[in-house]
Amino acid sequence: MSHPFTVTPRFLRPAAMTLAVSALAFAIVDDADAAERGKFKGRSVLVSMQFHEIKAPEGNPAKAVQIGELDGVLFNDTGKTFLDKAHYQVVWKGDGNGAAECFKTFTDSMGKVFANCVGQSADNGEEQGTITLVGGTGAYTGIKGKGSFKLKMISDRTMWDIVEFDYEIP
């Protein structure tokens, strides 16, 4: 005679199935709520599409105000598909002392990523600074992140840029 509180294998099977299905449903909900996080490191080639300079009056330490537009392609150095071979556009403004601010846009088949940057150029034709991801479209909607860039002039119209940042997509 079995005890009334004894669990036999035939009662265990439905309970185990219910538990397994519940765990699977919970895991699916967890994955849907999970954010994608990562580190991006890329290299790009950029070409100057427009450049305008207005000289400051003689004696002004800022020397000039400059604006420009760059266009190119960004490659993902980590071997992942995130922003690999993305169209890369930069609209920037600067002064004759080397301080600059810009808007960067990276576009691939999944959407666009928008970033702001602040940089400082050196006498050797390099500029480096910070990059802040401020949003995106498509799969990149709500992206946030921060990192750095290092731009190097190759000729008067061509340059390369190393871009690195941590990101999170909700």
Note the pLDDT tens digit of each residue in 52-80: 999 999 988 888 999 999 999 999 999 99
Tokens of 111: 């959407």
Q: Which helix (H) or strand (E) holds 13?
A: helix 9-33
CA triplet 153, 121, 115: central angle to 5 degrees?
85
Phi, psi of 140 (to 5 degrees): -100, 10
Residue type, 78: T
Query: pTM of the prediction?
Result: 0.78
Q: What is the pLDDT of residue 19?
A: 43
What's the CA gap between 146 and 139, in Å, rounded? 18
| pLDDT recorded at residue 15 | 47
Residue 122: Cβ-neighbour burial (10 angstroms; 0-12, 13-18, 19+): exposed
Q: How many CB atoms lie within 10 A of CB 58?
A: 6
The predicted pLDDT at position 159 comes to 96
Nearest by Cα to 161 from 73, 65, 81: 73
CATH, range 36-169: 2.40.350.10
- Residue 47 structure tokens: 């070409």
pLDDT exceeds cutoff 80 at 17: no
* Paired strand residues for 146: 132, 166
Do 115 and 135 form a contact (C-beta atoms < 8 A)? Answer: no
